[in-house]
């Protein structure tokens, strides 16, 4: 009897593990969206505690597609904050159905999760005070630098420090809010991250005009949404919804809204024109990693 009970439990657990994302969403009438709390202007929480941003606007189109596919127009959307450290495990274990933040599609990460089509391309640079004397990465020798834990930037910075013997002191912040505060309070002379996210951090400083983005790009980052591996039906729905946005006129409207017009919470314009690489990407969407 004990063996029979174990077999039933094992079979049930196995069925739950292999249940498709759409089946899970349909049966529970709920979708769990992973979001960032301070990644302006991609994914962050406004003064009304609502998740907003460029990533979330695109994600909302996917949610609409899920509602149509599952036949649940009243689908409950559960928002779950994620960090650089826990975002992959939360997707893997099913806590998050779709992570709509600012995660770089890396071939190494594809062993753990699947990625949607790329929706943004960024480069890794430095944010520093205009009068800091920091013009490029070589100027960081012997200095204290902050970056975000568990990111491509941290990996690149630590590799640079080791290979070039730069003797940098590297602070690993838990998120963009902590990274910005570390920089703004003078505990680090520069903040290494993706250029567009540094522009977001700059917009949240007390005096944005005091800060500048510098340095030769160290990498190109392809941002995609994360979902569980081996679920082609859900990935196809996600990609199809994104392609409709990116290949249509809506993408320019969304881009202008978040990168060329004043955005919450301070009403500051990022003044971050669409790059040629991004224009090409939207014309021919794909889910390729850059590394």
Work out the pLDDT band at 164, boundaries 50, 70, 90: very high
Residues of the chain with CATH 3.40.190.10: 27-121+221-283, 123-219
The pLDDT of residue 13 is above 80: no
CB 201 within 8 A of CB 184: no
Q: Name, of 12-21, 202-211, 265-274, 280-289, the range with top average pLDDT.
A: 280-289
Stretch 116-127: mean pLDDT: 96
Work out the pLDDT band at 203, boundaries 50, 70, 90: confident
123-219 CATH fold = D-Maltodextrin-Binding Protein; domain 2 (3.40.190)
Cα dihedral sign, 77-14-227-149:
positive
Q: In this predicted structure, what is the pLDDT of residue 138?
A: 97
Going by C-beta distance under 8 Å and a sequence separation of 6 or more, which residues neighbour residue 271?
A: 259, 260
CA angle at residue 126 from 125 to 131, to 5 degrees?
145
Going by C-beta distance under 8 Å and a sequence separation of 6 or more, which residues neighbour residue 170?
A: 144, 145, 146, 147, 154, 157, 158, 161
Is-above-0.85 flag for pTM? no
The pLDDT of residue 16 is above 80: no
Cα distances from 177 to residues 74, 205, 249, in angstroms, run 34, 10, 33
27-121+221-283 CATH fold = D-Maltodextrin-Binding Protein; domain 2 (3.40.190)
């Amino acid at each position: 009897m004990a063996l029979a009970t174990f077999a039933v439990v094992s079979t049930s657990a196995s069925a739950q593990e292999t249940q498709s994302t759409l089946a899970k969403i349909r049966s529970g009438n709920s979708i769990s969206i992973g979001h960032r709390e301070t990644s302006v202007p991609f994914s962050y929480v406004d003064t009304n505690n609502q998740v907003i941003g460029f990533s979330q606007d695109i994600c909302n189109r996917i949610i609409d597609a899920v509602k149509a596919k599952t036949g649940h127009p009243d689908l409950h959307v559960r928002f779950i904050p994620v960090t650089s450290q826990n975002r992959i495990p939360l997707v893997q274990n099913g806590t998050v159905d779709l992570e709509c933040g600012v995660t770089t599609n890396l071939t190494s990460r594809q062993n753990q999760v699947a990625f949607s089509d790329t929706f943004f391309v960024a480069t890794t640079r430095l944010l520093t005070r205009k009068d800091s004397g920091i013009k490029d990465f070589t100027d960081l020798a012997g200095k204290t630098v902050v970056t975000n834990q568990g990111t491509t930037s941290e990996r690149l910075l630590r590799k640079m420090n080791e290979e070039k013997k730069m003797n940098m002191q590297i602070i690993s912040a838990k998120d963009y809010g902590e990274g910005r505060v570390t920089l703004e309070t003078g505990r680090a002379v520069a903040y290494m991250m993706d250029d567009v996210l540094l522009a977001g951090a700059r917009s949240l400083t007390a005096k944005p005009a005091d800060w500048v983005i510098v340095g030769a790009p160290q990498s190109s980052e392809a941002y995609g949404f994360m979902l569980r591996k081996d679920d082609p039906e859900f990935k196809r729905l996600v990609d199809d919804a994104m392609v409709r946005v990116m290949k249509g006129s809506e993408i320019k409207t969304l881009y202008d809204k978040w990168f060329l017009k004043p955005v919450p919470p301070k009403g500051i314009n990022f003044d971050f024109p669409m790059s040629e690489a991004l224009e090409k990407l939207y014309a021919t969407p794909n889910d390729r990693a850059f590394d």
